[in-house]
Structure 1
Amino acid sequence: MDKRHILMLLAVIIISVAPLIIYSGHGEDDGYFGGADDSAGDAITETGYKPWFQPLWEPPSGEIESLLFALQAAIGALIIGYVFGYYRGRGESSE
């Protein structure tokens, strides 16, 4: 292996392991890995905001919600991939 490859591999290992060492033993209960959505939701509810309406349907569990989000992302990726492929094929066929 080239020296540059070894250095890049070491950098990847260090970047991957450093958060595990820094945050070992800490979890979501300590405030780590909470995410911006939780912070924003808490900040909004502290102002006394009342929602204008309720959702028409809520997924029965977090797993279903994650599944629907992943499905939406996959459909979007398929559409974008199709459009890129279409225009690339169209450009190659005109030559």
Structure 2
Amino acid sequence: MFSRRDIWIGLALVVAIVGVYLGSLALAPTGAEFLGSDAAAGELTGGVPWLEPLFRPGSPELESGLFALQAGLGGILLGFVLGRLTARRRS
């Protein structure tokens, strides 16, 4: 199934990813906030929104659930398209 070499390579990748994550936390300035690109864009434009959302969820839980649903459907669609392209190439 998996050779010893494959297991060691996978383990080394996991250790490297954890190391990069911990290193970035250690090198971050004290009190630094990890903001997303939305916050950075808001600072550049003066915080004035260009567009208004069509739908505002009533609670943060509903918003997070809709985001997860959107991500899941996108993943399913991507997997379907890649599977079809792979099958077409094989036949």
Could you state the TM-score of these two structures normalised by the residue count of structure 1? Answer: 0.53
Q: Tell me which amino acid in the other structure corresponds to 2:25.
A: Y
After TM superposition, the structure 1 = structure 2 runs for residues 30-45 of structure 1, keeping only pairs within 5 Å, are 30-45=31-46
Larger radius of gyration: 1
Asked if residue 72 in structure 1 is aligned to residue 73 in structure 2, the reply is: no
* Alignment: residue pair count: 88
Q: How far apart are 1:9 and its partner, in Å?
A: 4.0
Gaps in structure 2 of 5+ consecutive residues: none
After TM superposition, the structure 1 = structure 2 runs for residues 2-81 of structure 1, keeping only pairs within 5 Å, are 9=11, 12-13=14-15, 15-17=17-19, 19-20=21-22, 23=25, 30-45=31-46, 50-51=48-49, 54-81=52-79
RMSD: 3.9
